[in-house]
Structure 1
Amino acid sequence: MGIENSALDVCSEHRMPPERRVAFEGFETGRRFLVCAQPQPQNCGFVGWVDPEWPHTMQNALLKLWEMLEDNKSARRDDNLENSLKNHQLTEEKRNLDANYDKLVEDVNQLFNAQEERVMDLSYLKDKMNAHGAESSSDVVAVMKTEIEKKEAEIMEFKGKYSVLMNLAEAQGRVIRTQKANHLKEKEKLSEENYNLKVQVDKLTNSEEKLNDDIVVLNIHIDGLKKGIENLIKRGDELKLQIADQLMALEKNQEKLKMIRDILDG
């Protein structure tokens, strides 16, 4: 707030010129006032207002502005807290996803290695079975077929696990993308709300400026009326003096007329 020495008033305790300041809180915002110029703890505080009380419309507009400012600050704090929590959640999910992805890569490599080993085992069994051919007994053939079916079942099982892991990775990716998209939508909504709030604040600020201009014009008219009243009072005093002079002259004329009548009657 600005500080300006004023010799129009003095503080009651020190009889010294006060400082002129400007209020910046509540419905008194913009209104100038005087305070004691002495430093603490000798300062005796508030001396008086310089400007008259603001009109009720302007007070309501100022209160609305301050209320909107506090609401905006509160909303920003809430949004910052919410965004921090969301960022923390996304960071944790990304960390978990990275860990799951590394685990998935490791599992897939193990699956491929195991599958290659089982394919080699299967090829070996088939070659061995073909090598023995007709000389193999029916029991040996049955055992080999059973082993081959077992190996094929294991391969199918590993393929199923691989498919599950791929689906899990895809699902996790969709979750992350969805959360990021929701976060962007909420951010855009917040930006739009902040813009609308700024528009409302600008409108109220323009209204306040117009009210200030109206007050200046009103003060000019009041000063003109005060000067007119002073002139009327001054003119009234002059008329009173003129009337008094005329009354005195009338009394003197009446005395002269009486003297003339007395002379004529005598």
Structure 2
Amino acid sequence: MQVPASSEDSDFEGPEDEMQVLCHGHGKLAERHVAFEGILTGRRFLCCAEKTTRDRGLRTLMNSFEVHNLTQEKKKLQASYEKLVEDVNALVDAQQRRVEIEKIDADTKKLEEKYEMVKNLAAAQASVIRNMKLKLAEERKNLQIQIDELQKSVEESNVKLHESNVKLQESNLKLQGIKAILNE
């Protein structure tokens, strides 16, 4: 029969001196104990002091192994936790970098759109300028034709005027000749 785990109770502990109960196997005085596990919790009982000491030693040894195992497990869990924290921090950093890259990509896309708009505007302006130059060249050609026609007209007018002046001078000479004849 296994002795249940017990706890100390100041009202009921230590060797059984009053009744002088002896252990059947060892002949030693029994000890008082109070159970604290399962349905026996709180129940007072007497048990062999040697068996209790041996059981306590065994339980202490088992508890030491359990404490050692729990300590090792705690260290492993601590290492796992620290690794998890590192992984989470790395994940958060990667997420932040991704957000920053997405922001840079968005900014780059906006700049590319503005560049395309400016490029299209420059192409449109170049087209307008080219068309205006063609129109100017055409108008210059038309103006040159008109200037040439006017110069030709002026030259013709000058020739006619010169002929008229010559005729006028001839007429003036004839008139002076007639005046001279009349005045004689």
The answer to whether the superposition gives a TM-score over 0.5 is yes
Q: Which residue number in structure 2 is paired with residue 243 of structure 1?
A: 158
Asked if 1:256 is matched to 2:171, the reply is yes
Task: Please identify which structure carries the higher helix content.
Answer: 1
Matches within 5 A, 1:180-195: 180-195=94-109
Partners of 2:67 and 2:92 lie apart in 1 by: 37
How far off is 1:208 after superposition?
0.8
Per-residue CA deviation, residues 165-198 of structure 1 (Å, 9 max, x unaligned), is 3312321331232133123212311221221012
Summarize the Cα distance change of 1:211–1:152 in structure 2 as closer, same or farther, 3 Å threshold. same
Runs of at least 5 residues in structure 1 that lack an aligned partner in the other structure = 1-125, 127-131
Summarize the Cα distance change of 1:212–1:138 in structure 2 as closer, same or farther, 3 Å threshold. closer
Partners of 2:111 and 2:99 lie apart in 1 by: 18
Give the TM-score normalised by structure 1. Answer: 0.43
Partners of 2:60 and 2:175 lie apart in 1 by: 168
Partners of 2:51 and 2:142 lie apart in 1 by: 136
Runs of at least 5 residues in structure 2 that lack an aligned partner in the other structure = 6-25, 27-46
Q: Which residue number in structure 1 is paired with residue 131 of structure 2?
A: 217
Q: Which residue number in structure 1 is paired with residue 19 of structure 2?
A: none
Summarize the Cα distance change of 1:198–1:139 in structure 2 as closer, same or farther, 3 Å threshold. closer
How far off is 1:232 after superposition?
4.0
Partners of 1:254 and 1:137 lie apart in 2 by: 169
Summarize the Cα distance change of 1:243–1:134 in structure 2 as closer, same or farther, 3 Å threshold. same
Asked if 1:169 is matched to 2:71, the reply is no
Partners of 2:76 and 2:170 lie apart in 1 by: 138
Q: Which residue number in structure 1 is paired with residue 16 of structure 2?
A: none
Higher Rg of the two aligned structures: 2
How far off is 1:225 after superposition?
3.6
How far off is 1:219 after superposition?
0.8
Give the TM-score normalised by structure 2. Answer: 0.59
Per-residue CA deviation, residues 133-172 of structure 1 (Å, 9 max, x unaligned), is 7383776456435423422321331232132133123213
Q: Which residue number in structure 1 is paired with residue 41 of structure 2?
A: none
Matches within 5 A, 1:56-75: none
Asked if 1:156 is matched to 2:79, the reply is no
